[in-house]
Amino acid sequence: MIIPIYKPAGMTSHDVTAKLKRAFPVKTKIGHTGTLDPMCTGVLVVLTENDTKLSDILPSNKAYRATMKIGYSTDTQDVTGEIIEKSDLRPSYEEILAVAKSFIGTYDQTPPMYSAVKKNGVPLYKLARKGETVEIEAKKVAIYSIENAEMLADDEFSFDVTCSGGTYIRTLCEDMGKELGVPCCMKALERTVANGFSIKETLPLDKAIKLASEMKLEQYAIPYDHVFKNLPSVIIPDNGLNYYMNGGRLSTNRCEADNIDSETYRAYDRTGKFLGLAGIINGEFFGKWKIQ
């Protein structure tokens, strides 16, 4: 199953899956597609049983509503941490917006110490809690847009941001502060889109737990092909269906495809049954991921 959950504040992503796992009357394998910090709320995509393997192929882009606190920075890059620098400077809305917009594109972002990124197999946050610091390699992330920016107060700037998977918004807030010359950190964060799902498609955690306990959660599962609705489709012919499903490749001339310019397709049989994802190489379609 694919179930987008609305994660409340005050719990980890692991807490969410653990609660759901305990709710099921039968043993059920459960995972999620991307960690949200305890203070953060919003879309958390939960996967069950064999569908946990989908985490590697779901769309990775994310969107958030963020609030940046202006005037101090912390060791966690958010308001839950210990203050390490303060300033009375207050940039104007125009100055902050200009700096925020300057981050649109790709840039090298250094993950925070208080994160799930691993160093030699150990999550950084565990090292940070011990007071240890290590050298962290920067990684390239992408900021696609920053919109709907507003000043909530003279020291609070709120904005919508869409970005690549693996982007840390609290690090973005701190990096924006460095460009402004004023220490900043993240005050609040709500993930509004994850893996192609928006908030309006999520289930409240309490409701999901109740449905799981009644073995009714499957009624709210998202259809597989909905996840990949932005991909072109291909119809696998009846006379090549078994061959394809068993790992064979079929010429593009034998299949009905929207186009042959994509790397990945939604594959269907002639009855409209979703078969999984197909790839194309050397003029032939092959199964990249198939529903078992």
Question: What does the domain layout of the chain look like in residue ranges?
Answer: 2-58+196-222, 62-191, 227-290
CB of 235 within 8 A of CB of 265? Answer: no
- Work out whether strand 274-281 and strand 284-290 pair parallel, antiparallel, or are unpaired: antiparallel
% pLDDT > 90, the chain: 72
124 pLDDT more than 70 = no
**Fold matches, 2-58+196-222 and 62-191:** yes
235-262: b or e for each residue (b if 16 or more CB lie within 10 Å)? bbeeebbeebbeeebbeeeebebeeeee
87 pLDDT more than 70 = yes
C-alpha dist (Å) from residue 77 to 110, 184, 235: 12, 8, 49
Give the pLDDT confidence score for residue 113 in this predicted structure.
73
Question: What value does the mean pLDDT of the chain take?
Answer: 91
CATH topology for 62-191? Pseudouridine synthase (3.30.2350)
Question: 162 pLDDT band (50/70/90 cuts)?
Answer: very high
73 pLDDT more than 80 = yes
Give the pLDDT confidence score for residue 61 in this predicted structure.
85
Domain 2-58+196-222 has CATH 3.10.129.10: no
Q: 58 or 254: which carries more pLDDT confidence? A: 254
Question: 116 pLDDT band (50/70/90 cuts)?
Answer: low
Give the pLDDT confidence score for residue 117 in this predicted structure.
65
pLDDT in tens, 221-245: 988 888 888 889 999 999 999 999 9
157 pLDDT more than 70 = yes
C-alpha closest to that of 267 among 292, 247, 291: 291
Residue with tokens 């400077």: 89
Give the pLDDT confidence score for residue 196 in this predicted structure.
86
122 pLDDT more than 70 = no
Question: 134 pLDDT band (50/70/90 cuts)?
Answer: confident
Q: Which residues contact 7 (CB under 8 A, 6 or more apart)?
A: 13, 16, 36, 40, 41, 42, 43, 44, 191, 205
CA distance 218 to 13: 20
119 pLDDT more than 70 = no
Q: 32 or 132: which carries more pLDDT confidence? A: 32
127 pLDDT more than 70 = no
123 pLDDT more than 70 = no
Give the pLDDT confidence score for residue 56 in this predicted structure.
77
pLDDT in tens, 258-277: 877 888 999 999 999 999 99
Give the pLDDT confidence score for residue 30 in this predicted structure.
93
120 pLDDT more than 80 = no
269 is catalytic: no
Q: Which of 15, 37, 88, 206 is catalytic?
A: 37
What would the CATH number be for the domain defined by 227-290? 2.30.130.10
Give the pLDDT confidence score for residue 55 in this predicted structure.
77
Give the pLDDT confidence score for residue 52 in this predicted structure.
81
CB of 11 within 8 A of CB of 200? Answer: no
CB of 125 within 8 A of CB of 83? Answer: no
What size, in residues, is the chain?
Answer: 292
% pLDDT > 70, the chain: 93
pLDDT in tens, 185-223: 999 999 999 988 999 999 999 999 999 999 999 999 988
- Across the beta sheet with 250-251, what order do the strands follow? 250-251, 284-290, 274-281, 264-268, 233-235, 256-257
